[in-house]
Each structure stands twice: as C-alpha cells, then as structure tokens.
Structure 1
Amino acid sequence: MLKDKVAMVTGAAQGIGYAISEEFAIQGANVVLTDYNPSVVDTAKDLNEKYDGEITGMVLNVMKTDSIVDSLNKIVDTYGKLDYAVNNAGGGVLKPFAELTDDDFDKTINLDLRGTFLCMREEIKIFLKQGYGSIVNAGALGSVYNPGGMGAYNAAKNGIMGMTQAAAVDYAENNIRVNCVAPGLTKTPLNDGGFLEKILPTVPMKRYETAAEVAKVYVFVASEATFMTGQTILSDGGVSVGLK
C-alpha cells in the first residue's frame, strides 16, 4: 500500500493517465491528476469520493514551464513532498512519413518529447531538493518497434526513451529513479477510429490491453521496482517479440 505517498500524473483527465491515477488511489496514495483540460478537476473529485487518499485535480500545460513549476510548487506546498511523477501527457499525428507536414511534426514533438523534457527537468529539481524521487515516462511501442505510419510519433517516443536513460544515469547517485513504460495496443478515447482494429491481428495475445492493466505496470515501476532505473518496460502482448 502507498498510504501517505504523493503521486502526480500528467494527461490524467482520461485514458491511461486516468487509469494510472486510479491505480495509485486504489493503493492508498494521495494523487494529483493534472491535464490541460479543466475537466480534470471534476474527474479528480469523483475519484476522491471512492478512495481513502486525497485525490485532487489541477490544470497543467506540459508545454509551458511556468505552468509546470506552478503545479509542482503547489503540490509540494500542500504535501511537503512528491514521491512519484508520471509523465503521461502526449499524443501524435499518425501519417506515412512523407505526408507529415511541418506542423504535424512540430506539434507531435512539442507535446510528446519537449513536454516530457520540461516536466522531467522541473521534477528532478524538486527531487534533488528532497533527496529522492521516482519518474515514469510514457513511451510507446514506437520507442523500440515500428509498425509504420508513425514517423513523428516514433521520433518523439524514441527520444523519450533516450531522455529516460540520460536522466537515470545523471541522477542515480541522488536516489532518483527514471524509467519509461511502453504500452501496447491499449483502447483509449484518443485512439478510436479504426487504427486499433488494423493493428490487432499483429498482437500475439489477440486482444487489446486495458488501461487498468498497463496502469498497474506504471505504478509498480514507480513505487516497487526500487533497483530499476533507465529502463523502458514494454507491456505489449508480445508484439515486439513476434508478429503473428
């Protein structure tokens, strides 16, 4: 159980971020759900009624340093610490490489890669002050495997894996762990529209991953894998090791 621990999750208004937040809450942690969508405040209120820890929502734009700093300061002022930070916010334009526009590429890189960098940088500053902390970044199959049609998204997610490794090495001696979880074919509101159905036949387990399933991986890596750092953990139903 994670009673009295404090976790922050970005991109938590829905989908995997929401599921990660709920899994932290199930295990008794105090959880701060953050998202650029103001609906995250009401979403957190609903969760708070179900679980013992304090569950709150906060508007945060991962592409703006001031927003990140302000949110982190509020969390530390409220709880006196931050134990776990999950950088889940992201998205991407999925097109064949030569069809990507400049805007498609910039939007994907800025949200996924730059947004994760900005959050990591400020979280690490907090963790250095308090002497410990655990970061889990959101990778994807595109971090290590290329199903096609994901040029900008793969670039961003591969970059997140690289940043995870770099920060892990830089701060291992400071009792700061930095890891990455790469979900597989997970059904969420952001990837409806037929894409999943096209990829499903390539999954050896022949089913989608649920958000609740991968949320357990995120929380385990954040809180229990205490000698793990710099790793990208795939939870993908076998896609990366064998297509069928």
Structure 2
Amino acid sequence: MLENKVAFVTGAAQGIGYAIAKEFAAQGANVALADYNEKEVKEVAKKMNAEYKGEIWPVVADVSKSAAVDKCIAEVVEHFGKIDYAINNAGGGILKPFAELTDEDFNKTVNVDFFGTFYCMRAEIKQFLKQGEGSIVNAGALGSIYNPGGMGAYNAAKNGVIGMTRAAAVDYADKNIRVNCVAPGLTKTPLNAGGFLEKILPTVPMKRAESPEEVAKVYVFVATQATFMTGQTILSDGGVSVGLKG
C-alpha cells in the first residue's frame, strides 16, 4: 500500500489520467490532480475525497506552458512536502493525413504531448534531485510503433516522449530517479470517441478495447513496484504490436 506517498498525475480530470489517480488513491496514496480544466478537476477531487482515505488535491495547470508547469510543481510540493511518483499523462492530438496538417495543428499537438511532457519531466527531476529519489512514468502511445494513418503530429510527439524517457533515465539512474513510459493501445476514452475506436477494433488480436482502469494498473505498477526498471516503454495493447489480426 502507498500510505504517506504522494502521486502527481497530469490530465487527471478524465480518461486514463482519472483512472490512474483513482488507482493510486485506492492503494492509499495522496494524489495531486493536475488539469487545465479548473471546474472538472475540482469536481473530480471532491468526488474522490469522499471515496478514498488519502488526500486528493486539485491543481490547475496548462502543461504546454513552461511557467505554468513550474508553478504547479511548486504548489504541489508546498502542499504535500514532496512528490514520490509523477505520471505525465496529459495529451491529445489532431489527427489528419500528414500533408493536411497545418502549422497550427502540428504545433498544438507537439506543444501538449512533447513539450508538455518535457516541461513536467524537467520540473519533476529537479524536485527529485532535492529529495534524493523519485519515479516518473510518461504517457507514450501504441501509435509510436503502429498506427492506422492520420497520426503524423501525434506520432512525432510520442516518439519524442520515448526518446526523452530514455535520455533522462540514463542521466539520473545513479540518482535514485527512474523514468519509464507506458504506451496504451486502443483505450475507451473520450479522445477515442466519434467512431475511431470502432474503426480500429478489428485489428486488435484480443478483439476488444482496453479500459482506462486496466492500463491505470500498469502505470501504477511501473511507477511503484518495478524498482529496477528504467528507460523502458511498456506496451499495453491487446497484442497489436506483435501481430495484427483482421
């Protein structure tokens, strides 16, 4: 159990981030919920505080802005005194065929998924160096290995996340700081609404989508239990990456 531990989760107001926050809370941790949507993150925190023993604390942050991330991390540390586990989950993307991507499309996707992760990692690692330890799990994507098309900006950002994960892992492995990545497959989230899930489902060997609760357990395990693992990207994809089955 994770009593007296502090987990920091970005993009925590819905989807996978919310499921990760709940999994940490279910194991007894205090959880800082970070999201750009102030109303939703406060509502989620209120709901979780009524359900779990640990403290659930909301903080507003737009991860695409460096100063906002630094301020967010400082607020969490001031409130809880530390951060033990950081889950950089916030993300999203504009899906279009490659040549149809505008500068705005590409920049918007990369600013959240790539730069947002970078800003969070940098601030978290600085805090972990002060503490003498810490664990980061970044959100990758199956699209970094296999994609159905129309994911150029998203893939560029998520491949960058994998590269940053490996680089930081090597830089700080001897400082008791672990940095890993989890790459979910087809998951039932609001971002996959609008027919995308149904379109891709036939290619999944397990013939079903992953629930946010399933992949949340992977994130929390990697963050808390895989204590000799660093620099790795763990796929939770129902078998897609090892063989398509249409």
State the partner residue of 1:20: 20
- 3-state SS of 1:240 partner: helix
The answer for unaligned runs of 5 or more in structure 2 is none
Moved more, 99-108 or 17-26: 99-108
CA distance in 2 between counterparts of 1:164 and 1:145 reads 19
State the partner residue of 1:167: 168
CA distance in 1 between counterparts of 2:70 and 2:154 reads 26
The answer for unaligned runs of 5 or more in structure 1 is none
CA distance in 2 between counterparts of 1:105 and 1:61 reads 18
State TM-score, norm by structure 1.
Answer: 0.98
Moved more, 44-53 or 145-154: 145-154
State the partner residue of 1:199: 200
Matches within 5 A, 1:66-145: 66-145=67-146
State the partner residue of 2:6: 6
- 3-state SS of 2:179 partner: strand
How many residues end up aligned between the 2 structures? 244
Read off the aligned partner of 2:22 and give its amino acid letter.
E
CA distance in 2 between counterparts of 1:35 and 1:191 reads 19
CA distance in 1 between counterparts of 2:19 and 2:106 reads 28
CA distance in 2 between counterparts of 1:195 and 1:189 reads 11
CA distance in 2 between counterparts of 1:129 and 1:120 reads 14
CA distance in 1 between counterparts of 2:65 and 2:222 reads 27
CA distance in 1 between counterparts of 2:189 and 2:215 reads 12
State the partner residue of 2:219: 218
State the partner residue of 1:31: 31
Moved more, 92-101 or 123-132: 92-101
CA apart distance, 1:68: 1.3
CA distance in 2 between counterparts of 1:24 and 1:230 reads 22
Read off the aligned partner of 2:189 and give its amino acid letter.
T
CA distance in 1 between counterparts of 2:177 and 2:148 reads 33
CA distance in 2 between counterparts of 1:177 and 1:147 reads 32
1:160-209 Cα offsets, whole Å, 9 max, x none, are 00000000000001100000000010011122000111100000000010
CA apart distance, 1:69: 1.5
Read off the aligned partner of 1:24 and give its amino acid letter.
F
Read off the aligned partner of 2:214 and give its amino acid letter.
E
CA distance in 2 between counterparts of 1:103 and 1:81 reads 37
1:51-86 Cα offsets, whole Å, 9 max, x none, are 110011110110122221122112212222110000
- 3-state SS of 2:16 partner: helix
CA apart distance, 1:36: 0.3
Read off the aligned partner of 1:93 and give its amino acid letter.
I
Read off the aligned partner of 1:15 and give its amino acid letter.
G
CA distance in 2 between counterparts of 1:101 and 1:75 reads 36
- 3-state SS of 2:241 partner: coil
CA apart distance, 1:144: 2.1
CA apart distance, 1:42: 1.6
CA distance in 1 between counterparts of 2:66 and 2:153 reads 23
Read off the aligned partner of 2:37 and give its amino acid letter.
N
CA apart distance, 1:146: 2.8
- 3-state SS of 1:70 partner: helix
CA apart distance, 1:147: 2.4
CA distance in 2 between counterparts of 1:143 and 1:5 reads 32
State the partner residue of 1:183: 184
Moved more, 77-86 or 173-182: 77-86
State TM-score, norm by structure 2.
Answer: 0.97
CA distance in 2 between counterparts of 1:85 and 1:159 reads 18
CA distance in 2 between counterparts of 1:214 and 1:120 reads 21
